[in-house]
Amino acid sequence: MAEETKKVSKKVEELVEEVSKLTVLDLSELVSALQEKLGVSAAMPVAAAAAAPAGEAAPAADTASATQTVVMTVSGANKISVIKALREINPNLTLMDAKGMTETLPAEVLKDAKAEDAKVASEKLKAAGATVELK
């Protein structure tokens, strides 16, 4: 592997190092931002990128193999922050879809998600002022 890193420029190596520190949700947001900026669709690379972190987390999967569903029960007073949090959690949501979720409660935000992803999503929504349940 040492030979492979020598073939990569220092700039690319630094980017790889930074990207490897991101969470799955951050990676999803990064992919969406790059798709918008470059006007491309990265359907296959998204699947490949999601597979790599899963391989690293395989030993921890035994302890957190249960899936959870994140349900928003109260959207709170600051709906704009909640809408932003919803779109961070699921970049495929349109502005209208996210707004609709804040108005039709209870709303299923993530279904059968990994426990870690559900926890991160729950924390983002709580920080935005929403009340959520993990099922």
**pLDDT tens digits for 3-22?**
444 577 888 888 888 888 87
Residue 56 is predicted with a pLDDT of 43
Residue 46 is predicted with a pLDDT of 39
> Helices (H), strands (E): how many in the chain?
8, 3
Preceding omega of 45 cis (within 30 degrees of 0): no
CB 131 within 8 A of CB 74: yes
Residue 120 has pLDDT above 60, yes or no: yes
Where do the domains of the chain lie, and which CATH numbers do they carry? 2-56 (no CATH), 67-134 (3.30.1390.10)
Residue 6 is predicted with a pLDDT of 57
Residue 110 is predicted with a pLDDT of 86
Dihedral, 20, 57, 120, 106 alpha carbons, nearest 10: 130
Residue 65 is predicted with a pLDDT of 55
**pLDDT tens digits for 45-93?**
433 444 444 444 444 444 445 788 888 989 888 888 999 989 998 888 8
Reported pTM: 0.51
Residue 35 is predicted with a pLDDT of 74
